[in-house]
Structure 1
Protein backbone atom coordinates (compact mmCIF):
# COMPACT_ATOMS: atom_id res chain seq x y z
CA UNK A 1 0.00 0.00 0.00
CA UNK A 2 1.43 3.34 -1.11
CA UNK A 3 0.14 6.28 0.91
CA UNK A 4 -1.80 9.16 -0.60
CA UNK A 5 0.91 11.60 0.51
CA UNK A 6 3.55 9.56 -1.30
CA UNK A 7 1.47 9.37 -4.49
CA UNK A 8 0.84 13.10 -4.35
CA UNK A 9 4.53 13.82 -3.79
CA UNK A 10 5.58 11.56 -6.68
CA UNK A 11 3.02 13.16 -8.98
CA UNK A 12 4.12 16.70 -8.11
CA UNK A 13 7.80 15.77 -8.48
CA UNK A 14 7.16 14.18 -11.87
CA UNK A 15 5.22 17.21 -13.10
CA UNK A 16 8.01 19.56 -11.95
CA UNK A 17 10.67 17.66 -13.89
CA UNK A 18 8.40 17.33 -16.92
CA UNK A 19 7.79 21.08 -16.94
CA UNK A 20 11.42 22.13 -16.39
CA UNK A 21 12.73 21.86 -20.00
CA UNK A 22 9.44 23.05 -21.47
CA UNK A 23 9.33 26.20 -19.34
CA UNK A 24 12.99 27.01 -20.01
CA UNK A 25 12.50 26.52 -23.74
CA UNK A 26 9.54 28.89 -23.84
CA UNK A 27 11.18 31.53 -21.66
CA UNK A 28 14.71 31.51 -23.08
CA UNK A 29 14.10 31.03 -26.79
CA UNK A 30 12.79 34.59 -27.42
CA UNK A 31 15.84 36.05 -25.67
CA UNK A 32 18.62 33.88 -27.10
CA UNK A 33 16.98 33.08 -30.46
CA UNK A 34 18.12 29.47 -30.63
CA UNK A 35 16.35 27.45 -33.27
CA UNK A 36 13.98 24.54 -32.86
CA UNK A 37 16.26 22.25 -34.84
CA UNK A 38 19.00 22.73 -32.23
CA UNK A 39 16.65 21.52 -29.50
CA UNK A 40 15.49 18.61 -31.65
CA UNK A 41 19.10 17.69 -32.38
CA UNK A 42 19.83 17.57 -28.64
CA UNK A 43 16.84 15.29 -28.11
CA UNK A 44 17.91 12.98 -30.94
CA UNK A 45 21.53 12.77 -29.76
CA UNK A 46 20.57 11.79 -26.21
CA UNK A 47 17.99 9.28 -27.42
CA UNK A 48 20.47 7.60 -29.78
CA UNK A 49 23.78 7.79 -27.95
CA UNK A 50 22.49 7.25 -24.41
CA UNK A 51 19.43 5.05 -24.87
CA UNK A 52 20.78 2.94 -27.75
CA UNK A 53 24.58 3.14 -28.02
CA UNK A 54 25.29 3.21 -24.29
CA UNK A 55 22.82 0.42 -23.57
CA UNK A 56 24.35 -1.65 -26.36
CA UNK A 57 27.75 -1.09 -24.74
CA UNK A 58 26.41 -2.23 -21.37
CA UNK A 59 24.85 -5.28 -23.02
CA UNK A 60 28.16 -6.20 -24.63
CA UNK A 61 30.14 -5.72 -21.42
CA UNK A 62 27.69 -7.63 -19.24
CA UNK A 63 27.51 -10.40 -21.81
CA UNK A 64 31.26 -10.99 -21.67
CA UNK A 65 32.30 -13.25 -18.79
CA UNK A 66 35.84 -11.83 -18.66
CA UNK A 67 34.63 -8.23 -18.51
CA UNK A 68 32.01 -9.09 -15.89
CA UNK A 69 34.80 -10.59 -13.80
CA UNK A 70 36.74 -7.34 -14.01
CA UNK A 71 33.66 -5.36 -13.00
CA UNK A 72 33.55 -7.36 -9.78
CA UNK A 73 36.40 -5.10 -8.68
CA UNK A 74 34.73 -1.97 -7.21
CA UNK A 75 37.41 0.34 -8.63
CA UNK A 76 36.92 -1.02 -12.15
CA UNK A 77 33.14 -0.88 -11.78
CA UNK A 78 33.25 2.76 -10.69
CA UNK A 79 35.65 3.72 -13.49
CA UNK A 80 33.52 1.96 -16.11
CA UNK A 81 30.27 3.41 -14.78
CA UNK A 82 31.69 6.94 -14.76
CA UNK A 83 33.30 6.71 -18.21
CA UNK A 84 30.57 4.90 -20.15
CA UNK A 85 28.06 7.74 -20.08
CA UNK A 86 30.79 10.33 -20.60
CA UNK A 87 32.18 8.67 -23.72
CA UNK A 88 28.82 7.92 -25.34
CA UNK A 89 27.11 11.23 -24.60
CA UNK A 90 30.05 13.53 -25.22
CA UNK A 91 30.93 11.89 -28.53
CA UNK A 92 27.33 12.46 -29.57
CA UNK A 93 27.36 16.05 -28.34
CA UNK A 94 30.65 16.75 -30.11
CA UNK A 95 29.51 15.30 -33.44
CA UNK A 96 26.19 17.17 -33.25
CA UNK A 97 27.84 20.51 -32.56
CA UNK A 98 30.46 20.01 -35.27
CA UNK A 99 27.60 19.27 -37.67
CA UNK A 100 25.85 22.49 -36.65
CA UNK A 101 29.05 24.46 -37.27
CA UNK A 102 29.65 22.89 -40.69
CA UNK A 103 26.03 23.45 -41.66
CA UNK A 104 26.06 27.11 -40.63
CA UNK A 105 29.47 28.53 -39.59
CA UNK A 106 27.85 31.77 -38.43
CA UNK A 107 26.25 29.77 -35.62
CA UNK A 108 29.56 30.04 -33.77
CA UNK A 109 28.74 33.70 -33.13
CA UNK A 110 25.89 32.64 -30.85
CA UNK A 111 26.49 30.84 -27.58
CA UNK A 112 22.69 30.71 -27.32
CA UNK A 113 22.86 27.79 -29.75
CA UNK A 114 24.41 25.69 -27.00
CA UNK A 115 21.54 26.63 -24.69
CA UNK A 116 18.97 25.36 -27.18
CA UNK A 117 20.93 22.18 -27.75
CA UNK A 118 21.39 21.68 -23.99
CA UNK A 119 17.67 22.10 -23.32
CA UNK A 120 16.98 19.41 -25.91
CA UNK A 121 19.67 17.04 -24.63
CA UNK A 122 18.87 17.60 -20.97
CA UNK A 123 15.13 17.63 -21.59
CA UNK A 124 15.30 14.27 -23.33
CA UNK A 125 17.14 12.85 -20.33
CA UNK A 126 14.62 14.39 -17.94
CA UNK A 127 11.72 12.78 -19.77
CA UNK A 128 13.20 9.45 -20.86
CA UNK A 129 15.11 8.66 -17.68
CA UNK A 130 12.96 10.58 -15.21
CA UNK A 131 9.36 11.35 -16.16
CA UNK A 132 8.49 8.15 -18.02
CA UNK A 133 10.04 5.97 -15.33
CA UNK A 134 8.23 7.82 -12.54
CA UNK A 135 4.90 7.63 -14.35
CA UNK A 136 5.44 3.88 -14.56
CA UNK A 137 6.01 3.64 -10.79
CA UNK A 138 2.97 5.79 -10.09
CA UNK A 139 0.84 3.44 -12.20
CA UNK A 140 2.30 0.44 -10.38
CA UNK A 141 1.52 2.08 -7.04
CA UNK A 142 -2.09 2.72 -8.06
CA UNK A 143 -2.46 -0.89 -9.17
CA UNK A 144 -0.95 -2.12 -5.91
CA UNK A 145 -3.36 0.01 -3.87
CA UNK A 146 -6.25 -1.61 -5.78
CA UNK A 147 -4.76 -5.10 -5.29
CA UNK A 148 -4.48 -5.43 -9.07
CA UNK A 149 -0.70 -5.41 -9.47
CA UNK A 150 -0.25 -9.20 -9.39
CA UNK A 151 -2.99 -9.62 -12.00
CA UNK A 152 -1.02 -7.46 -14.45
CA UNK A 153 2.21 -9.44 -13.95
CA UNK A 154 1.00 -13.04 -14.10
CA UNK A 155 3.88 -13.97 -16.44
CA UNK A 156 6.55 -12.39 -14.22
CA UNK A 157 8.63 -14.76 -12.02
CA UNK A 158 7.61 -14.64 -8.33
CA UNK A 159 11.00 -13.30 -7.18
CA UNK A 160 10.82 -10.42 -9.68
CA UNK A 161 7.29 -9.62 -8.54
CA UNK A 162 8.45 -9.66 -4.94
CA UNK A 163 11.22 -7.16 -5.77
CA UNK A 164 8.62 -4.95 -7.42
CA UNK A 165 6.53 -4.95 -4.24
CA UNK A 166 9.66 -4.22 -2.19
CA UNK A 167 10.53 -1.19 -4.33
CA UNK A 168 6.97 0.11 -4.01
CA UNK A 169 7.33 -0.26 -0.25
CA UNK A 170 10.34 2.06 -0.26
CA UNK A 171 8.54 4.90 -2.03
CA UNK A 172 8.02 7.96 0.14
CA UNK A 173 7.76 11.77 -0.04
CA UNK A 174 11.49 11.86 0.74
CA UNK A 175 12.13 9.70 -2.33
CA UNK A 176 10.17 12.22 -4.41
CA UNK A 177 12.38 15.05 -3.14
CA UNK A 178 15.53 13.11 -4.01
CA UNK A 179 14.09 12.41 -7.44
CA UNK A 180 13.64 16.14 -8.08
CA UNK A 181 17.18 16.87 -6.88
CA UNK A 182 18.71 14.14 -9.07
CA UNK A 183 16.80 14.96 -12.25
CA UNK A 184 17.07 18.74 -11.90
CA UNK A 185 20.81 18.44 -11.24
CA UNK A 186 21.24 16.14 -14.25
CA UNK A 187 19.40 18.68 -16.42
CA UNK A 188 21.63 21.50 -15.17
CA UNK A 189 24.75 19.44 -15.87
CA UNK A 190 23.59 18.78 -19.44
CA UNK A 191 23.17 22.52 -19.96
CA UNK A 192 26.63 23.07 -18.51
CA UNK A 193 28.25 20.38 -20.66
CA UNK A 194 26.60 21.80 -23.78
CA UNK A 195 27.64 25.38 -23.10
CA UNK A 196 31.17 24.31 -22.19
CA UNK A 197 31.58 22.15 -25.30
CA UNK A 198 30.28 24.95 -27.52
CA UNK A 199 32.57 27.52 -25.96
CA UNK A 200 35.61 25.25 -26.36
CA UNK A 201 34.72 24.74 -30.03
CA UNK A 202 34.36 28.50 -30.45
CA UNK A 203 37.84 28.90 -29.02
CA UNK A 204 39.24 26.15 -31.28
CA UNK A 205 40.31 24.15 -28.23
CA UNK A 206 41.59 20.96 -29.84
CA UNK A 207 41.17 18.50 -26.96
CA UNK A 208 37.56 19.63 -26.37
CA UNK A 209 36.16 16.11 -26.69
CA UNK A 210 38.54 14.32 -24.28
CA UNK A 211 38.25 17.23 -21.86
CA UNK A 212 34.43 16.92 -21.81
CA UNK A 213 34.61 13.13 -21.50
CA UNK A 214 36.78 13.44 -18.40
CA UNK A 215 34.58 16.21 -16.99
CA UNK A 216 31.43 14.16 -17.58
CA UNK A 217 33.05 11.12 -15.98
CA UNK A 218 34.00 13.12 -12.89
CA UNK A 219 30.41 14.35 -12.56
CA UNK A 220 29.21 10.78 -12.88
CA UNK A 221 31.60 9.56 -10.18
CA UNK A 222 29.23 9.98 -7.18
CA UNK A 223 26.50 8.00 -8.96
CA UNK A 224 28.97 5.25 -9.83
CA UNK A 225 30.20 5.16 -6.22
CA UNK A 226 26.61 4.80 -5.03
CA UNK A 227 25.94 1.98 -7.50
CA UNK A 228 29.08 0.26 -6.23
CA UNK A 229 27.70 0.71 -2.67
CA UNK A 230 30.68 2.77 -1.63
CA UNK A 231 28.65 5.83 -0.57
CA UNK A 232 24.94 6.21 0.36
CA UNK A 233 22.41 7.75 -2.01
CA UNK A 234 21.93 10.77 0.24
CA UNK A 235 25.64 11.61 0.04
CA UNK A 236 25.66 11.33 -3.77
CA UNK A 237 22.59 13.54 -4.09
CA UNK A 238 24.07 16.10 -1.68
CA UNK A 239 27.17 16.33 -3.88
CA UNK A 240 25.01 16.76 -6.98
CA UNK A 241 22.90 19.46 -5.35
CA UNK A 242 25.98 21.51 -4.46
CA UNK A 243 27.59 21.01 -7.88
CA UNK A 244 24.37 21.91 -9.67
CA UNK A 245 24.11 25.18 -7.75
CA UNK A 246 27.68 26.05 -8.79
CA UNK A 247 26.87 25.25 -12.43
CA UNK A 248 23.71 27.37 -12.34
CA UNK A 249 25.69 30.29 -10.95
CA UNK A 250 28.37 29.85 -13.61
CA UNK A 251 25.79 29.71 -16.42
CA UNK A 252 24.03 32.85 -15.19
CA UNK A 253 27.32 34.75 -15.03
CA UNK A 254 28.35 33.45 -18.47
CA UNK A 255 25.20 34.60 -20.22
CA UNK A 256 24.88 37.82 -18.27
CA UNK A 257 28.37 38.69 -19.49
CA UNK A 258 26.92 38.75 -23.00
CA UNK A 259 28.30 35.48 -24.32
CA UNK A 260 24.86 34.29 -25.30
CA UNK A 261 23.64 37.34 -27.17
CA UNK A 262 22.75 36.67 -30.80
CA UNK A 263 25.00 39.55 -31.86
CA UNK A 264 27.95 38.50 -29.70
CA UNK A 265 31.12 38.31 -31.69
CA UNK A 266 33.04 35.11 -32.06
CA UNK A 267 36.17 34.85 -29.97
CA UNK A 268 39.47 35.23 -31.67
CA UNK A 269 41.15 32.14 -33.05
CA UNK A 270 44.05 30.71 -31.14
Structure 2
Protein backbone atom coordinates (compact mmCIF):
# COMPACT_ATOMS: atom_id res chain seq x y z
CA UNK A 1 0.00 0.00 0.00
CA UNK A 2 1.20 3.48 -0.84
CA UNK A 3 1.07 5.98 1.99
CA UNK A 4 -1.62 8.62 1.50
CA UNK A 5 0.90 11.32 2.44
CA UNK A 6 3.07 10.34 -0.52
CA UNK A 7 0.14 10.78 -2.92
CA UNK A 8 -0.62 14.12 -1.26
CA UNK A 9 2.98 15.15 -1.87
CA UNK A 10 2.73 14.29 -5.56
CA UNK A 11 -0.45 16.33 -5.87
CA UNK A 12 1.14 19.22 -3.99
CA UNK A 13 4.09 19.26 -6.39
CA UNK A 14 1.68 19.25 -9.32
CA UNK A 15 -0.39 22.11 -7.89
CA UNK A 16 2.63 24.30 -7.11
CA UNK A 17 4.31 23.63 -10.45
CA UNK A 18 1.15 24.34 -12.43
CA UNK A 19 -0.64 27.11 -10.58
CA UNK A 20 2.34 29.26 -9.56
CA UNK A 21 3.24 29.98 -13.23
CA UNK A 22 -0.44 30.53 -14.05
CA UNK A 23 -0.82 32.82 -11.04
CA UNK A 24 2.25 34.82 -12.03
CA UNK A 25 0.97 35.07 -15.59
CA UNK A 26 -2.32 36.53 -14.37
CA UNK A 27 -0.52 38.85 -11.95
CA UNK A 28 1.85 40.12 -14.66
CA UNK A 29 -1.13 40.72 -16.92
CA UNK A 30 -2.92 42.68 -14.21
CA UNK A 31 0.20 44.79 -13.58
CA UNK A 32 0.63 45.30 -17.35
CA UNK A 33 3.99 43.54 -17.20
CA UNK A 34 3.01 40.80 -19.64
CA UNK A 35 4.33 40.82 -23.18
CA UNK A 36 3.11 37.78 -25.11
CA UNK A 37 5.81 37.51 -27.76
CA UNK A 38 8.74 37.48 -25.28
CA UNK A 39 6.75 35.03 -23.16
CA UNK A 40 6.37 32.69 -26.13
CA UNK A 41 9.99 33.07 -27.18
CA UNK A 42 11.02 32.27 -23.60
CA UNK A 43 9.07 29.02 -23.83
CA UNK A 44 10.58 28.21 -27.23
CA UNK A 45 14.15 28.95 -26.16
CA UNK A 46 13.89 26.73 -23.10
CA UNK A 47 12.48 23.80 -25.06
CA UNK A 48 15.00 24.12 -27.90
CA UNK A 49 18.18 24.92 -26.00
CA UNK A 50 17.60 23.05 -22.73
CA UNK A 51 15.38 20.13 -23.63
CA UNK A 52 16.68 19.39 -27.13
CA UNK A 53 20.22 20.67 -27.66
CA UNK A 54 21.54 20.38 -24.10
CA UNK A 55 20.00 16.94 -23.57
CA UNK A 56 21.43 15.75 -26.88
CA UNK A 57 24.89 16.69 -25.63
CA UNK A 58 24.20 14.95 -22.31
CA UNK A 59 23.49 11.71 -24.19
CA UNK A 60 26.99 11.92 -25.63
CA UNK A 61 28.76 13.11 -22.48
CA UNK A 62 27.01 11.71 -19.39
CA UNK A 63 27.11 8.09 -18.26
CA UNK A 64 23.66 6.38 -18.13
CA UNK A 65 23.97 6.34 -14.32
CA UNK A 66 23.68 10.13 -14.42
CA UNK A 67 26.42 10.58 -11.83
CA UNK A 68 29.57 10.83 -13.96
CA UNK A 69 30.90 11.54 -17.43
CA UNK A 70 31.37 8.64 -19.83
CA UNK A 71 35.11 9.09 -20.17
CA UNK A 72 36.10 9.86 -16.59
CA UNK A 73 34.99 9.25 -13.01
CA UNK A 74 36.18 12.70 -11.92
CA UNK A 75 33.48 14.36 -9.84
CA UNK A 76 35.03 17.78 -10.42
CA UNK A 77 34.84 17.41 -14.20
CA UNK A 78 31.27 16.11 -14.00
CA UNK A 79 30.16 19.08 -11.90
CA UNK A 80 32.06 21.51 -14.14
CA UNK A 81 30.48 20.06 -17.27
CA UNK A 82 26.94 19.86 -15.86
CA UNK A 83 26.93 23.40 -14.53
CA UNK A 84 28.55 25.06 -17.53
CA UNK A 85 26.40 23.13 -20.00
CA UNK A 86 23.24 24.42 -18.34
CA UNK A 87 24.60 27.95 -18.11
CA UNK A 88 25.89 28.14 -21.67
CA UNK A 89 22.89 26.58 -23.40
CA UNK A 90 20.22 28.51 -21.51
CA UNK A 91 21.92 31.90 -21.31
CA UNK A 92 23.19 31.85 -24.89
CA UNK A 93 19.67 30.81 -25.84
CA UNK A 94 18.32 33.85 -24.01
CA UNK A 95 20.84 36.06 -25.78
CA UNK A 96 19.84 34.72 -29.20
CA UNK A 97 16.20 35.21 -28.33
CA UNK A 98 16.61 38.84 -27.32
CA UNK A 99 19.28 39.74 -29.88
CA UNK A 100 17.65 38.39 -33.02
CA UNK A 101 14.08 37.34 -32.27
CA UNK A 102 12.93 40.20 -30.05
CA UNK A 103 14.53 43.26 -31.61
CA UNK A 104 11.55 45.45 -30.74
CA UNK A 105 11.07 44.06 -27.24
CA UNK A 106 13.73 45.51 -24.96
CA UNK A 107 11.68 46.82 -22.01
CA UNK A 108 11.50 45.65 -18.41
CA UNK A 109 8.22 43.83 -19.00
CA UNK A 110 9.80 41.96 -21.91
CA UNK A 111 12.52 40.59 -19.66
CA UNK A 112 9.94 39.60 -17.05
CA UNK A 113 7.76 37.90 -19.64
CA UNK A 114 10.65 36.02 -21.25
CA UNK A 115 11.79 34.77 -17.85
CA UNK A 116 8.28 33.70 -16.90
CA UNK A 117 7.89 31.81 -20.16
CA UNK A 118 11.28 30.15 -19.70
CA UNK A 119 10.75 29.24 -16.06
CA UNK A 120 7.05 28.49 -16.44
CA UNK A 121 7.47 25.87 -19.14
CA UNK A 122 10.30 24.32 -17.12
CA UNK A 123 7.94 24.06 -14.15
CA UNK A 124 5.35 22.33 -16.30
CA UNK A 125 7.74 19.95 -18.08
CA UNK A 126 9.63 18.99 -14.92
CA UNK A 127 7.30 19.66 -12.01
CA UNK A 128 3.86 18.95 -13.48
CA UNK A 129 4.75 16.08 -15.81
CA UNK A 130 7.01 14.58 -13.16
CA UNK A 131 4.16 14.63 -10.64
CA UNK A 132 1.67 13.21 -13.15
CA UNK A 133 4.09 10.41 -13.99
CA UNK A 134 4.55 9.64 -10.29
CA UNK A 135 0.79 9.60 -9.68
CA UNK A 136 0.21 7.23 -12.60
CA UNK A 137 2.97 4.89 -11.43
CA UNK A 138 1.65 4.99 -7.87
CA UNK A 139 -1.80 4.04 -9.14
CA UNK A 140 -0.39 1.16 -11.17
CA UNK A 141 1.65 -0.10 -8.21
CA UNK A 142 -1.33 0.21 -5.88
CA UNK A 143 -3.58 -1.79 -8.20
CA UNK A 144 -0.94 -4.42 -8.94
CA UNK A 145 -0.94 -3.54 -12.63
CA UNK A 146 2.68 -2.40 -12.46
CA UNK A 147 3.92 -5.88 -11.50
CA UNK A 148 1.68 -7.56 -14.07
CA UNK A 149 2.06 -5.25 -17.06
CA UNK A 150 5.02 -2.88 -16.65
CA UNK A 151 7.67 -4.73 -14.64
CA UNK A 152 7.94 -7.70 -17.05
CA UNK A 153 8.89 -5.31 -19.87
CA UNK A 154 11.76 -3.75 -17.89
CA UNK A 155 15.07 -5.02 -16.55
CA UNK A 156 14.47 -6.35 -13.02
CA UNK A 157 16.74 -3.76 -11.36
CA UNK A 158 15.05 -0.88 -13.17
CA UNK A 159 11.56 -2.06 -12.19
CA UNK A 160 12.63 -2.41 -8.55
CA UNK A 161 14.24 1.03 -8.61
CA UNK A 162 11.04 2.62 -9.92
CA UNK A 163 8.95 0.96 -7.22
CA UNK A 164 11.46 1.92 -4.54
CA UNK A 165 11.36 5.54 -5.66
CA UNK A 166 7.57 5.74 -5.72
CA UNK A 167 7.06 3.89 -2.44
CA UNK A 168 9.69 5.66 -0.39
CA UNK A 169 9.94 9.25 -1.63
CA UNK A 170 8.54 11.31 1.22
CA UNK A 171 5.80 13.94 1.19
CA UNK A 172 8.31 16.72 1.81
CA UNK A 173 10.53 15.66 -1.08
CA UNK A 174 7.64 16.21 -3.48
CA UNK A 175 6.83 19.54 -1.84
CA UNK A 176 10.46 20.57 -2.24
CA UNK A 177 10.24 19.55 -5.88
CA UNK A 178 7.38 21.98 -6.35
CA UNK A 179 9.05 24.78 -4.41
CA UNK A 180 12.23 24.34 -6.42
CA UNK A 181 10.25 25.18 -9.57
CA UNK A 182 9.14 28.41 -7.87
CA UNK A 183 12.74 29.23 -6.96
CA UNK A 184 13.81 28.48 -10.54
CA UNK A 185 11.23 30.88 -11.99
CA UNK A 186 12.62 33.67 -9.82
CA UNK A 187 16.13 32.92 -11.07
CA UNK A 188 15.09 32.67 -14.73
CA UNK A 189 13.36 36.04 -14.59
CA UNK A 190 16.46 37.66 -13.10
CA UNK A 191 18.80 36.09 -15.66
CA UNK A 192 16.48 37.12 -18.49
CA UNK A 193 16.70 40.73 -17.33
CA UNK A 194 20.48 40.50 -16.99
CA UNK A 195 20.90 39.14 -20.51
CA UNK A 196 18.41 41.68 -21.88
CA UNK A 197 20.39 44.45 -20.21
CA UNK A 198 23.49 43.16 -21.98
CA UNK A 199 21.66 43.27 -25.30
CA UNK A 200 20.35 46.78 -24.64
CA UNK A 201 23.73 48.09 -23.54
CA UNK A 202 25.60 46.05 -26.17
CA UNK A 203 27.77 44.57 -23.44
CA UNK A 204 28.22 40.84 -23.92
CA UNK A 205 29.92 40.58 -20.55
CA UNK A 206 26.45 40.53 -18.97
CA UNK A 207 25.76 37.29 -20.83
CA UNK A 208 29.01 35.91 -19.41
CA UNK A 209 27.88 36.97 -15.94
CA UNK A 210 24.58 35.16 -16.50
CA UNK A 211 26.38 32.00 -17.63
CA UNK A 212 28.62 32.03 -14.56
CA UNK A 213 25.74 32.74 -12.18
CA UNK A 214 23.70 29.96 -13.76
CA UNK A 215 26.61 27.58 -13.38
CA UNK A 216 27.05 28.66 -9.78
CA UNK A 217 23.42 28.07 -8.82
CA UNK A 218 23.52 24.65 -10.50
CA UNK A 219 26.64 23.61 -8.61
CA UNK A 220 24.72 22.48 -5.52
CA UNK A 221 22.27 20.26 -7.48
CA UNK A 222 25.18 18.85 -9.51
CA UNK A 223 27.02 17.93 -6.31
CA UNK A 224 23.84 16.24 -5.08
CA UNK A 225 23.46 14.38 -8.37
CA UNK A 226 27.07 13.22 -8.12
CA UNK A 227 26.31 12.10 -4.53
CA UNK A 228 29.00 14.31 -3.07
CA UNK A 229 26.41 16.15 -1.00
CA UNK A 230 23.54 14.02 0.29
CA UNK A 231 21.63 16.54 2.42
CA UNK A 232 18.78 17.67 0.18
CA UNK A 233 17.75 20.37 2.67
CA UNK A 234 21.14 22.01 2.29
CA UNK A 235 20.79 21.95 -1.49
CA UNK A 236 17.33 23.50 -1.39
CA UNK A 237 18.49 26.12 1.11
CA UNK A 238 21.21 27.21 -1.31
CA UNK A 239 18.73 27.37 -4.20
CA UNK A 240 16.31 29.34 -2.01
CA UNK A 241 19.00 31.93 -1.22
CA UNK A 242 19.73 32.35 -4.92
CA UNK A 243 16.00 32.75 -5.57
CA UNK A 244 15.75 35.51 -2.96
CA UNK A 245 18.79 37.27 -4.41
CA UNK A 246 17.26 36.93 -7.88
CA UNK A 247 13.98 38.44 -6.68
CA UNK A 248 15.79 41.43 -5.17
CA UNK A 249 17.82 41.85 -8.37
CA UNK A 250 14.62 41.79 -10.44
CA UNK A 251 13.09 44.56 -8.34
CA UNK A 252 16.22 46.68 -8.67
CA UNK A 253 16.31 46.19 -12.43
CA UNK A 254 12.96 47.96 -12.77
CA UNK A 255 14.64 51.27 -11.99
CA UNK A 256 17.56 50.46 -14.28
CA UNK A 257 15.35 49.74 -17.27
CA UNK A 258 12.98 52.62 -16.69
CA UNK A 259 15.95 54.93 -16.24
CA UNK A 260 17.31 53.82 -19.61
CA UNK A 261 20.69 52.65 -18.40
CA UNK A 262 22.66 50.66 -15.87
CA UNK A 263 21.73 52.88 -12.95
Calculate the TM-score normalised by the size of structure 2: 0.90
Q: Could you tell me which runs of 5 or more consecutive residues in structure 1 were left unpaired when the two chains were aligned.
A: none
Is the CA contact 2:25–2:34 (under 8 Å) kept in the aligned structure 1?
no
Could you say which residue in structure 2 is the equivalent of 1:224? 222
- Aligned-residue CA RMSD (Å): 2.0
List per-residue Cα deviations over 1:169-203 (Å, max 9, x = no partner): 22221112221232211121111111111122222
**CA-CA distance at 1:33 after TM superposition:** 4.3
List per-residue Cα deviations over 1:48-97 (Å, max 9, x = no partner): 1111101110112247xxx6223x11111110111111111111111001
Could you say which residue in structure 1 is the equivalent of 2:132? 135
Is the CA contact 2:35–2:109 (under 8 Å) kept in the aligned structure 1?
no
Is the CA contact 1:2–1:171 (under 8 Å) kept in the aligned structure 2?
no
**CA-CA distance at 1:139 after TM superposition:** 0.9
Could you say which residue in structure 2 is the equivalent of 1:78? 79
Could you say which residue in structure 2 is the equivalent of 1:68? 70
- Distance in structure 1 (CA, Å) of the matches to 2:203 and 2:157: 52
List per-residue Cα deviations over 1:188-235 (Å, max 9, x = no partner): 111111111112222222323222211111111101111111112221
**Which SS does the other structure have where 1:44 is aligned?**
helix
Going from structure 1 to structure 2, the CA distance change for 1:211 and 1:249 (only over 3 Å counts) comes to: closer
**Which SS does the other structure have where 1:49 is aligned?**
helix
Q: Could you tell me which runs of 5 or more consecutive residues in structure 2 were left unpaired when the two chains were aligned.
A: 64-68
Q: Flag as ranges the 4+ runs of structure 1 deviating above 4 A.
A: none
**CA-CA distance at 1:253 after TM superposition:** 4.0
Is the CA contact 1:10–1:173 (under 8 Å) kept in the aligned structure 2?
yes
Calculate the TM-score normalised by the size of structure 1: 0.88
- Distance in structure 2 (CA, Å) of the matches to 1:165 and 1:200: 47
